[in-house]
């Protein structure tokens, strides 16, 4: 039967009645479609379905495995500060704080820098220079995070300990952010490494968004006698929401970054505003303790942290993508 359909599929198109059948796989065209098309379409659809299924499977499995701690601690898991595997007390607040604090400090430094670079690439740079410079910025994103970590341990941290932190402590020690002895390992190191790691993503998306602002707007500004900077301001205000999306994507990256942070943050749970203090993030506590988690509830607690991280990054990415997509749709330019 299948061969018949394949051979005279085009002739039989109009003669055969269609059988409507609602299902995930497109079967309603079974009789009036080329059989090969049908097989091909449903095969590729199946693989697309796998991608969807993976995300749901991940969520399902993590929820299932973290049920013991969800039942035992409930909402207190997020609000409690006590992380004591020996006495089976699990509160993730110090790690959530560490993740958010390090990421926000990184964003605070990275955002102006990224915007500066994006402005340069999109508005100022001569054409021939733009490509190689963009490539260089994007190569920063390609460097594996373990290499950032290595660089952090052996180059950044000695420099922070000997030069930067003593200086900051001396000059700005009255602020809560620069208190305590300069260890080198700690929040500041993590935030700086994260800064470098989120720069490329914010830069490249902001640049694409700025480039998608129609040239007519710049021409209009120049025609009215605006200077370069005044024109750039108009472009910037036109790309505001896109830049917000880019920032959220950068935040998503910073929140989930593991190796580089684990290697430089000092890995000591505690909530402190001082950038000099060692800390711990959600990702780094998983990296450090997962392989050694001896009891079932300990493992469950770590998996719940992974689940929280999963939820955080999904929300951040979803919101950011929607923003970036709606902006680029407005200008009808493809941006990735």
Residue ranges in 161-200 that form contacts with other proteins under rule CB under 8 A: 196, 199
| 258 sits near other proteins (criterion: CB under 8 A) | yes
Nearest distance from C-beta of residue 255 to other proteins, angstroms: 7
Binding-site member from 5, 32, 65, 279 for other proteins (CB under 8 A): 65
Of 161, 173, 140, which Cα lies nearest the Cα of 266? 161
What are the Cα distances from residue 23, in Å, to 13, 42, 46, 119, 215?
21, 11, 13, 49, 47
Binding-site member from 318, 326, 329, 330 for other proteins (CB under 8 A): 318
| 88 sits near other proteins (criterion: CB under 8 A) | no
Query: In this structure, what token pair is assigned to residue 290?
Result: 């997962």
Nearest distance from C-beta of residue 82 to other proteins, angstroms: 22
Binding-site member from 68, 166, 321, 333 for other proteins (CB under 8 A): 321
Nearer to other proteins, 275 or 308 (CB): 308
Nearest distance from C-beta of residue 312 to other proteins, angstroms: 9
Please return the burial class of 153, using the count of CB atoms within 10 Å of its CB with bins 0-12, 13-18 and 19+. middle
Q: Contacts with other proteins in 120-149 (CB under 8 A)?
A: 120-121, 124, 133, 135-140, 142-149
What are the Cα distances from residue 183, in Å, to 143, 261, 277, 278, 281?
26, 15, 7, 8, 18
Rg (C-alpha) for the chain, rounded Å, is: 26
- Binding segment for other proteins (CB under 8 A), chosen from 74-82, 118-126, 172-180, 212-220, is 118-126
| 12 sits near other proteins (criterion: CB under 8 A) | no
| 22 sits near other proteins (criterion: CB under 8 A) | no
Nearer to other proteins, 272 or 312 (CB): 312
Which residue reads 């000092």 in tokens? Answer: 266
* Number of amino acids touching other proteins (CB under 8 A): 90
| 223 sits near other proteins (criterion: CB under 8 A) | no
What are the Cα distances from residue 313, in Å, to 18, 59, 249?
44, 12, 9
Nearest distance from C-beta of residue 285 to other proteins, angstroms: 10
Q: Measure the CA–CA gap between 160 and 46, rounded to whole angstroms.
A: 52
The pair phi, psi for residue 150, each rounded to 5°, is: -60, -45
Q: Measure the CA–CA gap between 246 and 267, rounded to whole angstroms.
A: 29
- Binding segment for other proteins (CB under 8 A), chosen from 15-23, 84-92, 116-124, 206-214, is 116-124
Binding-site member from 234, 314, 331, 333 for other proteins (CB under 8 A): 314
SS (H, E, C) 215-253: HHHHHHHHHCCCCHHHHHHHHHHHCHHHHHHHHHHHHHH
Binding-site member from 17, 47, 174, 332 for other proteins (CB under 8 A): 47
Nearest distance from C-beta of residue 20 to other proteins, angstroms: 17
- Binding segment for other proteins (CB under 8 A), chosen from 53-61, 77-85, 174-182, 272-280, is 53-61
| 116 sits near other proteins (criterion: CB under 8 A) | yes
Of 283, 225, 237, 277, which Cα lies nearest the Cα of 103? 283
| 230 sits near other proteins (criterion: CB under 8 A) | yes
Contacts 24+ apart (CB under 8 A), 14-20: none
């Amino acid at each position: 039967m299948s061969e018949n359909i394949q051979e005279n599929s085009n002739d039989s198109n109009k003669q055969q009645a269609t059988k409507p059948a609602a299902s995930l796989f497109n079967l309603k065209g079974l009789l009036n479609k080329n059989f090969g098309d049908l097989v091909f379409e449903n095969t590729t659809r199946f693989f697309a379905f796998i991608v969807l299924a993976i995300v749901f499977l991940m969520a399902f499995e993590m929820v299932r495995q973290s049920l013991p701690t969800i039942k035992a601690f409930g909402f207190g898991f997020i609000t409690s500060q006590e992380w004591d595997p020996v006495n089976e007390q699990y509160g993730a607040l110090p790690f959530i704080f560490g993740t958010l604090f390090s990421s926000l400090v990184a964003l605070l430094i990275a955002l102006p820098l990224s915007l500066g670079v994006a402005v340069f690439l999109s508005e100022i740079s001569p054409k021939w220079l733009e490509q190689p410079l963009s490539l260089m910025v994007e190569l920063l994103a390609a460097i594996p995070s373990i290499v950032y970590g290595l660089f952090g341990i052996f180059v950044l941290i000695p420099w922070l300990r000997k030069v930067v932190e003593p200086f900051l402590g001396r000059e700005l020690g009255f602020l809560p952010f620069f208190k305590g002895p300069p260890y080198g390992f700690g929040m500041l190191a993590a935030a700086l490494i994260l800064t470098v790691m989120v720069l490329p993503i914010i830069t490249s998306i902001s640049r694409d968004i700025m480039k998608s602002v129609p040239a007519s707007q710049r021409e209009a500004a120049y025609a009215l006698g605006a200077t370069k900077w005044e024109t750039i301001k108009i472009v910037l205000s036109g790309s505001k929401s896109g830049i917000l999306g880019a920032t959220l994507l950068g935040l998503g990256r910073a929140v989930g970054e593991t190796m580089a942070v684990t290697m430089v943050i000092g890995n000591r749970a505690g909530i402190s505003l001082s950038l000099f203090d060692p800390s711990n993030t959600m990702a780094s506590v998983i990296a450090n303790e997962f392989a050694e988690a001896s009891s079932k509830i300990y493992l469950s607690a770590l998996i719940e942290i992974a689940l929280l991280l999963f939820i955080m990054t999904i929300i951040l990415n979803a919101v950011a993508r929607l923003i970036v997509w709606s902006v680029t749709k407005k200008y009808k330019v493809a941006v990735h």
